[in-house]
Amino acid sequence: MSALKKFFKDTIIYGLATVLPRLMNFILVPLHTKTLGTVSYSDNTTFYVYAAFFNVLLTYGMETAFFRFFSKSEDKQKVFSTALISLTVTSLLFLGVVFSFNQQLAALVNLDQTYFNLLVGVLVLDALVAIPFAYLRATGRPIKFASIKIANIIIVVLLNFFFLWAIPKYGINYPEYDSADLVKYIFIANLVASIATFLLLIPYFLRTKLQFSIPIFKQLLNYGWPIMVAGMAYVINENFDKWLLPSALGKDINGAYSGCYKIAVFMTIFIQAFKLGAEPFFFNHAQEKNAKQTYATIMKYFVIFGSAMLVFIIAYLDIFKEFIVRDESYWLAIEIVPIVLLANLCLGIYFNLAIWYKLTDKTRYGMYLSIVGAIITIVFNIVMIEQIGFIAAAWATLLAYGAMMVLSYYIGQKHYPVPYNLKAILGYLLLAVALSVIALNTNANYYLNTALVLLFLTIALLVEKKELKRMFINR
């Protein structure tokens, strides 16, 4: 099997591991926006903002560092054991410290005490399973990876429907059920799913020969800490708007903004599926003589698929709006969707470009680039939200990811030049943006919008036909 065929195969499986859970989670968006008001939905969003930040802090870049050193180490089990012990110890230490100062920390992050305790439980369990999940990816076991991920989200979805829909509808007798605080049950569902996931992966803790290598740990830490800082900056880029909007414009506006932001989840799913398949592939393929050309080809097709998705979602935005965010009170923020979609496509390109600093062990550049993005996000939001409202938050996201993408390309070409086909990449991006602008101005004429989608696909197929035939048929 050719390298590209293997990459696409693994990415499809990892895509299922990402797409199916996200699609199932996607079912929850209409449920949440129907049962929760915009204020409660804002509280739900705030919970997961903190979850994202502390998740990065608790894993401190160890997952990516594990891939790097596991792929090139002769003693792979020692790398796995060292990373596993490291995250287990720090996660348990975090748990001990947090519960020693429980009330003070809950007040510091302005979360209800119950919400905070549930958050801590989810965070620790998710950090504990980070390396076992990474091990499944690094050893080429995407089906098991996918199965556990899907089991997790099935539990989340079923419990959400049980608490938020079945109990009120059928009058199920549930002790101390609080219909005035439905948000709490969303977090409980997440905690139960995290416990189940940990139990499914606990064999990796019990069967592993425990070996802690200080030299390996130092290598992992030196490689990983800039990834952690970059991850924190990424969380700021993704969530600073949702943290700032409640105080700047009110929780109701933040709830509407966060609800409409969910429509861009399809682009996020695509990017996450790509990242899950690409990261181990890039490291394992780095020593091949045609590695750089392979990376360039993958980038081009990533842009083609991402651009097609951009045109498709915008062409049928009104349908997505009514299907996903059913409460019309949320629709006041619908104008952010095209901007956020394009921003996420830029982020996906940045993730693709990021291979240069990961392969050259210059992860500090990833940290610098993410900090630049975070500064743009913070400054633009603070200055412009008061001037133009919540739309400023969407533009800040696009500016931040666009800047990171451009800077990463130019710096990367100096340190690890890859022959990207800029003419084709820019051509597909500009075509997608132009067709999307037209689609936004057709007054939801789906006949015309469908023609626009087909036009993009036809052009891409005609241009790439020879290469696709050579890649999948002649080999």
CB 145 within 8 A of CB 136: yes
pLDDT confidence of residue 69: 80
Looking at residue 379, its pLDDT comes to 93
- The total of other beta-carbon atoms located within 10 Å of residue 420's CB is 21
CA-based nearest residue to 118, from 132, 98, 89:
98
CB of 284 within 8 A of CB of 295?
no
Q: Which pLDDT belongs to residue 242?
A: 81
Question: In the chain, how long is the greatest CA-to-CA distance?
Answer: 65
How much is the pLDDT for 281? 67
Structure tokens at 166: 């079945």
- Between CA 373 and CA 396 the distance in angstroms is 9
**What pLDDT score does 463 carry?**
84
- Residue 317 tokens, joined: 């935005």
Read off φ and ψ for residue 175, nearest 5 degrees: -55, 130
Closest CA to 79 of 214, 205, 257, 239: 214
Distances (CA, A) of 174 to 28, 115, 334: 21, 20, 37
3-state secondary structure 364-401: HHHHHHHHHHHHHHHHHHHHHHHHHCCHHHHHHHHHHH
> What confidence tens digit (pLDDT) does each residue in 296-325 have?
888 888 899 889 999 999 998 888 877 777
- Structure tokens belonging to residue 309: 């998705």
pLDDT of residue 471: 62
pLDDT value of position 261 = 82
CA-based nearest residue to 145, from 11, 297, 257: 11
Residue listed under structure tokens 């132009």: 434
Q: Residue ranges per domain, the chain?
A: 3-472
H or E segment and range at residue 317 = helix 317-324
Contact 192, 184 (CB under 8 A): no
| Residues in the chain where the model's pLDDT stays below 70 | 1-26, 71, 275-288, 326-327, 471-475
- Tokens representing 368 are 């610098």
Nearest to 71 by CA among 22, 148, 137: 137
Closest Cα partner for 66 from 358, 410, 433, 421?
Answer: 358
Say how many Å lie between the first and final Cα of the chain, rounded: 9
Burial 343-378 (b: 16+ CB within 10 A, else e): bbbbbbbbbbbbbbbbbeebbbbbbbbbbbbbebbb
pTM tops 0.85, yes or no: no
Q: At what angle do helices 38-59 and 3-35 cross, to 10 degrees?
A: 140
Per-residue confidence (pLDDT) for residue 1, from 0 to 100: 45
